[in-house]
Structure 1
Amino acid sequence: MSSAELQSRIQQGFQEEIEETKLLDCMRCGFCLPACPTYIHSNYDEAQSPRGRIALMKAVRDGDLPFDDSVEESLDLCLGCRACEPACPAGVEYGSLLESARNVIQKEKKQSVKEKVVRHAAFDHLFKDQQKMNRTAGMVKFYQRSGLQTLTRKMGILSFFPSVMKDMEKVLPRIEKNEVEKGVVYEGKRQNKKVAFFTGCLMEPMFSKTNEATVNLLQELGCDVWVPEHQVCCGALQGHSGELDKARENAKQNIESFLEMDVDYIVNNAGGCGAFLSEYDHLLKDEPELLEKAKAFSDKIIDITSLIYELGLTEKGLSYIGDKEITVTYQDSCHLRNVNLVKDEPREILKSIENVHFVDLKSADQCCGSAGIYNLVQPEMSIRILDNKMEDVESTHASIIITTNPGCLLQMKMGIERAGLSDQMEALHLVDFIQKYILEN
């Protein structure tokens, strides 16, 4: 395909998939600028801001600017954290604009052989088939427990890999046996609510103990917890990477699986998953036969922090089990805060615990640089954001930094390692913190 043909096809795709009215919602007021990490960390480059990217989309759509690598690079460098949305007085739907633009580019631009192989392995296998994801995690488990990990580190083999890969290897969670069975209803102590639990494609094998702690906590608070058998990945990584059709396939399967039984809520413990699940009605807006089901599904989505707060966890007389007061801080999951608007609940839970001194993190509302697989595909910007974040974390003098999303958790663990703070601080999911350190008085 010639350059002219590609530009024509991209322009046509933008016209078909990106609503002009949504582009025109942007008033170019600039309220989004101080909320955007890539704008700040690119020396205030307008092309790396939300309004700059919207201007590029509109210019390509209108034929005023030819699509080229610089446009794609600007869109790719976006974290997709959506911090611009709550900052925007006009309510611009930036997240959907970005996903649509990436979707068009992915459809029309010729991929390299390497990219085709990686995308096929990830989106047609790993994030589509949970058994394949679990088998992959099993290989990591073998690497960790067979002595290969120790040997690899001693021989310096990791030095041949990019630095971000070496850092990630250091903080990979220890793979444990998954005790949360699908197709099972775990009975609560008082049976106040009946909820369905979304296990998450990465949470299930990589953070199985967090899932187990989540189910246990919900049982303690009086919930029957049903774990649907045929659930799959939420589709967020596909949707954010220009693979909207594959995301829709996963959404349809999840909707059918979770609506088999009437429940009060569909609860998740991964902020990024929860945001995407809550927008299935938008994802399937062009499929009227499914829209009613998608809305019913999305209306039931709730994050674990919101649910345990609603169930009265802050009134339970919780107390830190250590000998003296401990200082903790909290890093928001971007999508939990910016899409699902869950900000206060995790903070109120932490503040309610006796002998826990909660310190607000200065930049908690800004992305940590994880953003799904962003830290792998855009390592330079990701690390720049993370290192800056860790300066704020260190200033809290906290012993524990808490978050509510697996990607954020791994990123903060990596930040602790990079900052040389591993002997002073640890990173934990909120549920794991409660399970490990908190008791009722």
Structure 2
Amino acid sequence: MRTIDQPTHAPAAVVEPVANPGVDLAWLAERIDYSLFQQCIHCGLCTASCPTYVETSDENDSPRGRIYLMRSVTDGRLAMSPEVRRHLDLCLDCRACETACPSGVQYGKLIEPYKIAMLQDAPTGAGLSPLQRVILHHLFPYANRVRAALLPVRLLQKVGLMRLIGRSGLTKLLPPTLRNMEAMVPELQAPSRLPEVLPAIGPKRARVGLFLGCVTDAMTPQTTAATARVLQRNGCEVVVPRGQACCGAIHYHSGAEAPALELARRNLEAFDVDELDAIVINAAGCGAMFKGYEHIMPPEEHERTSRFVAKIKDVSEFLMSLGPIAPTHPVDATVTYHDACHLCHAQQIRNQPRQLLGMIPGLKLVPLAESELCCGAAGTYNLTEPEMSARLGRRKMDNIEAAGAAIVASGNIGCTLQIARQIRERGSAVEVVHPVDLLDRAYGGGEV
């Protein structure tokens, strides 16, 4: 018979922390509440919603697996090895796992600081290439620079030479990042050039600020103009502040935290929230970034930031809360709707875009299989992880073609460009637009 003080099992071995964790754990500790790791109960319900796990079937490429990896690094039990880094890099940050999780794990608040830390401490050969860094930090966040860079492309498109250049194979001589960029460029339109204030049409119902974005306004200025017209048609006076800047998402998600915060402050200054009923966004990624400002801004700026965030509304969210005026011009087309990740998962906006489309006379809305599975755009993921991005893009296009729709609508610029690329590569006749583009047609377009 054993004595009362005899141990029933061997004591647990003391695990020494790894000598070099590979990331700045002190920096991470300031930005991640450790209890966020503990919210995960390891049930695995997130795995079926995770695009990378669906494609690879690797547990380390699932949200549950990545949380385990991040927690192990945080605890000092695991170093940020190339293998660990690869599994975390492959995450799209689509946040579909947050929708699926029964425990309410805030996965975005874990992976986003980790991705920044990984880029800040990336070893030689890892992280962004010099070309990617220039593009992401010094080109994309500035709409005027993007427009200037695309001006030769727009001219070549107008005279029909871009297709000839593509067929000749000359673009294959470009570096991979530039090849991917060239493949994403749509048919470019003239800049929107909106005045600073646009009057409401009919009785004034609201005064709203319109956020233009950077890539959105440069690549799809017709959607910017359509958004303004739709708001006007619904009795909104539209204010377009000249001092606004990129939302900061491109910098933030590519490891440049300080410039992202400066861009955020510029937007806080540009929009006079006390004079506006809402700040309207037509790009899901920008809206999600804005709504997350309180999470990334220093505590001493939270009061001002919270007042700003309270006014942020996706255009579909705002119109449905305002009560949209019924459009009267028929749009006779079969349409399917793709849920942009940062609209349906990050902002929980699903019904409003479909409700707006359902108001359009003549429009038939058909379901899209795997509508909430990421298309592979994921901000700049299609530049940094082109292989997985292409796999997910092809999967999305398969589902779009199976839906039998002539038009696919999506509320995010990244999704629009990604799907448009797949359409061109397949030679498909499907058209991809923002829901507000269709609503604008149903209001009569530019007829004011």
TM-score by length of 2: 0.88
Asked whether the 8 Å contact 1:11–1:62 carries over to 2, the reply is no
Q: 2:363, 2:23 → 1: CA distance? A: 57
SS of 1:122's equivalent? Answer: helix
5 Å-filtered alignment, 1:321-340, equals 321-322=331-332, 326-340=333-347
Q: 2:277, 2:226 → 1: CA distance? A: 20
Asked whether the 8 Å contact 1:230–1:257 carries over to 2, the reply is yes
Instruction: Among all aligned residue pairs of Structure 1 and Structure 2, give the percentage whose two residues are the same amino acid.
Output: 35
Q: Give how far 1:100 is off.
A: 0.8
SS of 1:266's equivalent? Answer: strand
Counterpart selection for 2:306 from 283, 295, 298: 295
Q: Which residue of 1 aligns with 2:98?
A: 85
Q: 1:128, 1:428 → 2: CA distance? A: 22
Asked whether the 8 Å contact 1:6–1:109 carries over to 2, the reply is no
Q: 1:306, 1:127 → 2: CA distance? A: 26
Asked whether the 8 Å contact 2:230–2:443 carries over to 1, the reply is no
Which AA in structure 2 matches 1:352? M
Task: Kindly provide the CA deviation profile for residues 226-280 of structure 1, in whole angstroms up to 9, marking residues without a partner as x.
Answer: 0011111101122222222221111111111113761000001101111111111
Q: 2:90, 2:261 → 1: CA distance? A: 24
| 2:205 aligned with 1:192 | yes
5 Å-filtered alignment, 1:60-75, equals 60-75=73-88
Q: 1:379, 1:9 → 2: CA distance? A: 25
Q: Give how far 1:33 is off.
A: 0.9
Q: Which residue of 2 aligns with 1:226?
A: 239
Q: Which residue of 2 aligns with 1:7?
A: 21
Q: Which residue of 2 aligns with 1:309?
A: 320
Task: Kindly provide the CA deviation profile for residues 196-255 of structure 1, in whole angstroms up to 9, marking residues without a partner as x.
Answer: 000000122211111011111111110000001111110112222222222111111111
Q: Give how far 1:63 is off.
A: 1.3
Q: 1:247, 1:205 → 2: CA distance? A: 20
- Distance change (3 Å), C-alpha of 1:193 and 1:252: same
Counterpart selection for 2:51 from 37, 42, 64: 37
Q: 2:84, 2:118 → 1: CA distance? A: 10
Q: Give how far 1:68 is off.
A: 0.6
Question: How many residues in Structure 1 have an aligned counterpart in Structure 2?
Answer: 427
Task: Kindly provide the CA deviation profile for residues 106-125 of structure 1, in whole angstroms up to 9, marking residues without a partner as x.
Answer: 22224559946335523542
| 2:223 aligned with 1:210 | yes
Q: Which residue of 2 aligns with 1:109?
A: 122
| 2:276 aligned with 1:263 | yes
Higher-Rg structure is 2
Asked whether the 8 Å contact 1:368–1:389 carries over to 2, the reply is yes
Asked whether the 8 Å contact 1:369–1:411 carries over to 2, the reply is yes
Q: Which residue of 2 aligns with 1:134?
A: 147
Structure 1 stretch 362-371 or stretch 13-22: which is displaced more? 13-22
Structure 1 unaligned regions, length at least 5: none
Q: Kindly report the root-mean-square deviation, in angstroms, between the aligned alpha carbons of the 2 structures.
A: 2.5
- Distance change (3 Å), C-alpha of 1:68 and 1:234: same
Q: Give how far 1:8 is off.
A: 5.7
Q: Which residue of 1 aligns with 2:386?
A: 379
Q: Which residue of 2 aligns with 1:21?
A: 35
Which AA in structure 2 matches 1:204? D
5 Å-filtered alignment, 1:352-367, equals 352-367=359-374
Structure 1 stretch 166-175 or stretch 56-65: which is displaced more? 166-175
Q: 2:43, 2:269 → 1: CA distance? A: 42
- Distance change (3 Å), C-alpha of 1:360 and 1:296: same
Asked whether the 8 Å contact 1:194–1:263 carries over to 2, the reply is yes
- Distance change (3 Å), C-alpha of 1:402 and 1:165: farther
Q: Give how far 1:136 is off.
A: 2.1
Asked whether the 8 Å contact 1:234–1:277 carries over to 2, the reply is yes
Asked whether the 8 Å contact 2:357–2:365 carries over to 1, the reply is yes
Task: Kindly provide the CA deviation profile for residues 93-113 of structure 1, in whole angstroms up to 9, marking residues without a partner as x.
Answer: 111211111121222224559
Task: Kindly provide the CA deviation profile for residues 55-96 of structure 1, in whole angstroms up to 9, marking residues without a partner as x.
Answer: 001111111112211111111100110011121122111112
Which AA in structure 2 matches 1:427? V
Q: Give how far 1:152 is off.
A: 1.9
Which AA in structure 1 matches 2:409? I
SS of 1:71's equivalent? Answer: helix
Q: Give how far 1:295 is off.
A: 0.5
Q: Which residue of 1 aligns with 2:214?
A: 201
Asked whether the 8 Å contact 1:320–1:439 carries over to 2, the reply is no
Which AA in structure 2 matches 1:426? E
Asked whether the 8 Å contact 2:327–2:360 carries over to 1, the reply is yes
TM-score by length of 1: 0.89
Q: Give how far 1:166 is off.
A: 5.5
Select the structure that is richer in helix.
Answer: 1
Q: 1:331, 1:302 → 2: CA distance? A: 19
Asked whether the 8 Å contact 1:25–1:90 carries over to 2, the reply is yes
